[in-house]
Amino acid sequence: MLQRCGVDAVEVRTVAHLDGVEGLILPGGESTTVGKLLCRGGLDEAIRQRVAQGMPLFGTCMGLILMAREIEGSDQFRLGLMDIAVRRNAFGRQVDSFECDLPVPSLGMPPVRAVFICAPYVTRVENGVQVLASVQGQTVLVRQGHLLGAAFHPELTEDTRIHRLFLDMVADSKSLSEKHGSGPECPSNRASSPHGCGTPSFSG
Ligand code: GLN
């Protein structure tokens, strides 16, 4: 998907891989397992640090769960970067996975085709988190500054608009850090995705 948008993508599996990436996508997967892996390699702290320096982060499905400050009824690991609460598997079990045409007013027409797989939804937003889309009355696409979270899988469709929105956020953060002479050093136009434990890869 990122290549289709004209940017290079690399997989981030270690702290060293994070060097030089300008934006990070946390893909779908199983949030308790991936949370443990993030901690084991120290990627959790490295990601927190880069995000604090302004690196845009886009979480889809599991990624959204790991970005949340609160995961309902669970004390499992999370990065805790976005001021939201989420409910895991909120639309039901695997058999309740579904697709729909999701209106995203800020992206205009047509609606986005959204694929929900054992998806969470957002149960609370705070501190200026913008709700960009809802389905069945539940919040499923949110943005807070340089953080973007989707409960669904935009990479499983042909529509590049949500990834392009994220890439615009990456470009904005880059020009901001150039203007202020601070923030992450970004040698090239790259975005990346960590290994998602057998989950869909964003690099294609
Ligand atoms: N249900 C998974 C979890 O709670 C997320 C599923 C997904 O990323 N598609 O961790």
Is 197 one of the catalytic residues? no
Residue 162 near ligand 1, beta carbon < 6 Å:
no
Q: What is the mean pLDDT of residues 112-121?
A: 96
Cβ of 28 below 6 Å from ligand 1: yes
155 labelled catalytic? yes
- Using the predicted structure, report yes or no on whether residue 186 has a pLDDT greater than 80: no
Q: What is the pLDDT of residue 4?
A: 86
Q: What is the DSSP string of the chain?
A: -TTTTT-EEEEE-SHHHHTT-S-EEE-SS-HHHHHHHHHHTTHHHHHHHHHHTT--EEEETHHHHHHEEEETT--------EEEEEETTTT-SGGG-EEEEE--GGG-SSPEEEEESS--EEEEE-TT-EEEEEETTEEEEEEETTEEEESS-GGGSS--HHHHHHHHHHHHHHHHHHHHT-S----SSEEEEE--SSSPPS--
pTM here is 0.87
Mean pLDDT over 20-24 rounds to 94
Where residue 34 falls among pLDDT bands split at 50, 70, 90? very high
**pLDDT given for residue 117 in this prediction:** 94
For a pocket test of ligand 1, which of 37, 62, 140, 152 has the largest count of ligand atoms closer than 8 A to its C-beta?
A: 62
The CATH class of 8-194 is: alpha beta
pLDDT at position 178, please? 81
Residue ranges per domain, the chain? 8-194
